[in-house]
Structure 1
Amino acid sequence: MNSHAFIPVGIEASESLPHLKDEVVRLVDVRRRFNRTIALDGVSLSVPKGQILGIIGRSGAGKSTLIRCLNGLERPDSGQIVIEGKRIDQLPERSLQPLRRRIGMIFQHFNLLSAKTVEANVALPLKIEGVPKAERLARARELLDLVGLSDKAKAYPAQLSGGQKQRVGIARALAARPALLLSDEATSALDPETTRSILALLRDINKKLGLTIVLITHEMDVVRTIADRVAVIDAGRIVEEGDVRSVFANPQAQITKSLLAGSRPQLPGHLETRLGPSGDQIVVSVDLLGSYGQQQFFADLAQTIKNGGALLQGSLEHIQGEPVARFFIGIPAGNTAILERLRMKIEAAGARLEVLGYV
């Protein structure tokens, strides 16, 4: 198991875990129920320093409750939430306040104060903290330069585009120099081009500042673009977790496959509706990760086609610098030897072949 994956239930916050010494977030068996509705059902996760973790799930899966537990706005019924080595799930409100300054938050709808200038919005957390005016305005200018809005310091939110408002929100979230940045569907209200620019900014900030980021989203494309790891939540449980390229190349949980349907090649509908237990052609899917998917596979595919096979659908892309590919291949039903040769080569390379049926 990866050292940044699930944490055994029952670990005390004070226990020493050398392989997790650089973690910023640890959740251990976190549970939360609202009357009869289970929002979180034993969530355990760890996020090391400097990592971007994407938490993805459908509406109602538990994402919002999870992020509210992370910033201390929601108390779990049981389990442990540890931020930078300190348990926050049982702290009184007064003790929570200084810890919350270590957690920045960016929102879907920006949450800027319309009556304050951009500069004043960014400086607001420092004003609340009691930082002298000159110091907080200097920090605001520094952050506006970081997010590319140094020329908008005296503007008001109404004078900004959606993407500019979100950049102000990011600058404000960084004002108190947090260790952890939480993003709650921060790009959902933005158009695709603006979304790409905001995700590029977050990735740049992550690299420059070594900032740990947890993204809550329902968009797999957001996770693919920016995250190092992904955790899939369904009905309050983490059902799958791993590095992004591995999950995209070989999703295990049905909900993950469903969420990925719009981001990965799918069997054409006219073939899918014809799939059955018999037919002239065996239809297989092949999921590839790494150099085999970029090199030898195509030689093996060419040999398969030469022997009567057919490429039905597919594509190759790069995620986190690694080639990730998915292809659908038709193989003559009367020649299973072709299938077995292809299966042997694919599985020897650590890739996956699945027989979907016949057409």
Structure 2
Amino acid sequence: MDQHFIATTEAADQAATQDVVRLVDLKRRFGQTAALDGISLTVRKGEVLGIIGRSGAGKSTLIRCLNGLERPDTGEVFIEGREISRLGERELQPLRRRIGMIFQHFNLLSAKTVEDNVALPLKIEGRPKAERLKRAAELLDLVCLSEKAKAYPASLSGGQKQRVGIARALAARPALLLSDEATSALDPETTRSILALLKDINRQLGLTILLITHEMEVIRSIADRVAVIDAGRIVEEGPVWSVFADPQSDITRRLLGTVRPQLPPELAARLLPGAGTETVLRVDVAGEAAREPLLSDLAAAVPGPFRLVHGGIDHIQRQPVGTLFLSVPGSDASHLAEIITFLKSRQARVEVLGHVADPV
């Protein structure tokens, strides 16, 4: 047999085993509404993937297809290489143990102690009590709640309840952790602590995490990659830093509105669509382009005035991502065009926001 063919096949098989989740052209309708309209997506082993979209975008249906609670009309759902969408309940049970789940409202059993809540998946599996309690103790230590083992959920704060939910989701040593709006019911400080815990678990255990959320700040804090879903379709996908730096779709830009730098309201209120004494530009740069002395190089390359009126450089996934707002005075169209051309030559995305009648 051709050795190149053997090597190629082995490489393809090895790559496939690294895909914890693979969705192929997933479609699901409810009456006339297409909840999922051709979703194809891959989540690699050890990756944190964020799926973001507005209410009604299809996120909940997608997550129910992943854990086998919803069956797609057409398409395929692979978990660790096995197609699950046509399996019966008996065949699904062991596969569901490979998927941990954390919820927005915690879903803890109020009549059971914290350690019993954590150990519940193992009790359902029929594991011996000693093994269940040992595993619960390990996980409560992992989520920093060892002292709450004998407490009941009613005595816990929201953040503590979610930590118990995370520990319970990890009890059966899943390959995949699904997070369904898990921080939406928490205050900002608690949200940050829960996201830091999830990221730490991802690093320590190499656990694959898929986050469903409508909050871009959650994506920014923890995800390696983001997929934007709208009307049942993936409209944009890529590394988080890249999508934040240069969103391609209107829905992504709207979702990013609260976390990307914006022109201060007092300046934005003065913008005019027509001519003015100054033109205001938005300049977005990322990666290597954001590491360069862009403004000093611009001043050297294009004689004539411009001013930085707002913005700066941030870091996402260790990559610099910058947004600068420049004001270019005067009505010389050729000078403005030179500035824009230079900026674009440095891989910057440039947008003319408008004009102002008086200097900014």
In the superposition, the TM-score normalised over structure 2's length comes to 0.91
CA offset digits 1:311-353 (Å, max 9, x no partner): 2322321100111111121212423444344334432332211
Structure 2 residue runs without a partner (length 5+):
1-11
Indicate the larger mover: 301-310 or 174-183.
Answer: 301-310
Instruction: Work out whether 1:349 is the aligned partner of 2:346.
Output: yes
For residues 36-185 of structure 1, the aligned pairs below 5 Å read: 36-185=32-181
| Aligned counterparts, 1:191-340, within 5 A | 191-273=187-269, 274-300=271-297, 307-340=304-337
What's the % identity of the aligned pairs? 66
Amino acid at match of 1:231: A
Task: Say which one has the larger Rg.
Answer: 2
Structure 2: distance between partners of 1:99 and 1:48 = 17
> Partners of 1:159 and 1:128 in 2: how far apart?
25
Task: Using the TM superposition, name which of 312-321 and 331-340 deviates more.
Answer: 331-340
Question: C-alpha separation between the residues in 1 aligned to 2:255 and 2:280?
Answer: 22
Q: Is the 8 A contact 1:289 1:325 kept in 2?
A: yes
Alpha-carbon distance in 1 for matches of 2:244, 2:129: 48
Farther off after superposition, 37-46 or 298-307: 298-307
- The amino acid that maps onto 2:151 is A
Alignment partners' CA distance in 2, 1:141 and 1:345: 60
Matched AA of 2:248: Q
SS in structure 2 at match of 1:40:
strand
Give the Cα–Cα distance (whole angstroms) in 2 for the partners of residues 315 and 346 of structure 1: 16
Q: Aligned AA for 2:351?
A: E
Deviation per CA, 1:103-151, whole angstroms, max 9, x where unpaired? 0000000000011010000000000000110001100000000111111
Report Cα offsets for 1:150-170 as digits up to 9, x if no partner: 111111111111111000000
Cα displacement (A) at 1:307: 3.0
Report the CA distance between 1:17 and its aligned residue. Answer: 5.9
Q: CA RMSD in A?
A: 1.8
Deviation track 1:8-50 (CA, whole Å, cap 9, x = no partner) reads: xxxxxxxx56644411000111011111121111111001000
Distance 2:321 2:192 in 1: 20
Deviations 1:238-280 (A, max 9, x none): 0000000000000000000000001011123444453313222
Range moving further from structure 2, 320-329 or 100-109: 320-329
1:6 counterpart residue number: none
Q: How far off its partner does 1:204 sit?
A: 0.4
SS of residue matched to 1:155: coil
> What residue in structure 2 maps to residue 9 of structure 1?
none
TM-score by length of 1: 0.91
CA spacing shift, 1:116–1:304, aligned 2, 3 Å: farther
Q: Secondary structure at the match of 1:260?
A: helix
Which runs of 5 or more residues in structure 1 are unaligned? 1-15
After superposition, the Cα gap between the structure-2 partners of 1:121 and 1:212, relative to the gap in structure 1 and judged at 3 Å, is: same
Q: State the SS of the aligned residue for 1:221.
A: helix
